[in-house]
Amino acid sequence: MLREKIRIGIVGSGGMAGNHARNLAHNDVVELVAISSRNMETGSDLARKYNARFMPNWHEMLQQEDLDGIIVCTANDSHGEIVIASLEHDKHVFTEYPLARSLEEGEVAAEISISKRKILRVSHSEPVSDTHQAIRQEIEHLGQLLVASFMRLTPGRGGRPEVLFNLQISGPPAHFFIYHIYPVVDLFGQAEWVEANAIYSNLNDSGSYDQFVNIVTVGFKGGGIGHWTWSGGIEIQSAEQQHRYVLDGGTLVNSGGGWQISTRSGIESITPASVQYSSVVDLWLSEVLNNNLVSAQTDTTKALDAIRVSLLAEKAMQENRRVPIHRSD
């Protein structure tokens, strides 16, 4: 049973943890109780700033009976372990994407959230995006999907290349760019097969590399093709990014200036839809307060579908073949 306020613990003390702590401090239904981090300096500083307990060991934090929920803001390779342990300790969980580094961990987390009747939500923002919801409304009238394509080319290597450009920590680019896969899966449903190719320059035994190209193609069960191209650390003056959803009745395009619908008769801008929540964390907190298990479980299923694409793409690359995608259910 919840108290008057939802009492939250954060695992991690980096930029995302700081963002969550700052936002929670201005939320009347929340009390930030504890912060756990391996980094003693940044963890204790963050806890002191928001008058929370600092606990270096997240296992110990999960033992605290005065916590209702956990927000996971650690490196990708630890998400699954912390999410599962938090759920097993009867905590509601909000985690930064991806949900897990393996399918097994993701599926176990989903199963425990159901059996424990705890709210599990991944940080994909599309459920509260006015633009994404407007796109959903538009495609309902545009017929069958032909191809959904995405391309991103970047010269930089991010603020933490030792983490992002490391296969062992972050997985292949398709996995740490899972936030580009989720919106397409959310709109067009499950994929039934995946093919993938990748190039990593100066890849060493620790999993680090300097540049990459990662290409992933899927076939959707409902028809149509999904295609993603990511390239990072390359020689290009500035980043380029483009989305295209090609359907029977029109093409939705975003080349950086906002979404538009293009048909033979002309081009129109997409008007954002009305949404109820200002952030996905606010949605999670509402689900916790109202015990809205169905909404969160539906989204967890979609998050798992996105993980199946990203992780089975890794298998397709390793085995140089098309890999079928099956849900465990």
pLDDT digits (tens, 9 = 90+) for 159-211: 788 888 998 888 888 888 999 999 999 999 999 999 999 999 999 999 999 99
Looking at the structure, do residues 272 and 139 belong to the same domain, yes or no?
A: yes
Whether residue 41 is predicted with pLDDT greater than 70 in this model: the reply is yes
Report yes or no on 136 lying in a domain.
yes
**How much helix, strand and coil, in percent to the nearest 5, is found in the chain?**
40, 25, 35
Show the tokens assigned to 192. Answer: 């039934």
Looking at the structure, do residues 105 and 131 belong to the same domain, yes or no?
A: no
What single letter denotes the amino acid at residue 44?
S
Structural domain containing residue 21: 6-125+282-290
pLDDT at 2: 53
Looking at the structure, do residues 163 and 27 belong to the same domain, yes or no?
A: no
Report yes or no on 158 lying in a domain.
yes
Looking at the structure, do residues 36 and 132 belong to the same domain, yes or no?
A: no
Q: What CATH number is associated with residue 237?
A: 3.30.360.10
Whole-angstrom distance, CA of residue 211 vs CA of residue 201: 5
Looking at the structure, do residues 286 and 241 belong to the same domain, yes or no?
A: no
Q: How many domains does the chain have?
A: 2
Report yes or no on 270 lying in a domain.
yes
Give buried/exposed letters for 99-136 (b at 16+ CB in 10 A, else e): bbbebebbbbbbebbeeeebbbbbbbbbbbbebbbbbe
Contact 7, 64 (CB under 8 A): no
Residue ranges of E strands in 87-224: 92-95, 120-122, 145-154, 191-201, 211-220
What single letter denotes the amino acid at residue 49?
K
Q: Which of 181-185, 250-254, 271-275 has the lowest mean pLDDT?
A: 271-275
pLDDT digits (tens, 9 = 90+) for 43-65: 999 999 999 999 999 999 999 99
pLDDT band at 3 (very low <50, low <70, confident <90, very high): low
Cis check: omega of the bond before 172, within 30 degrees of 0: no
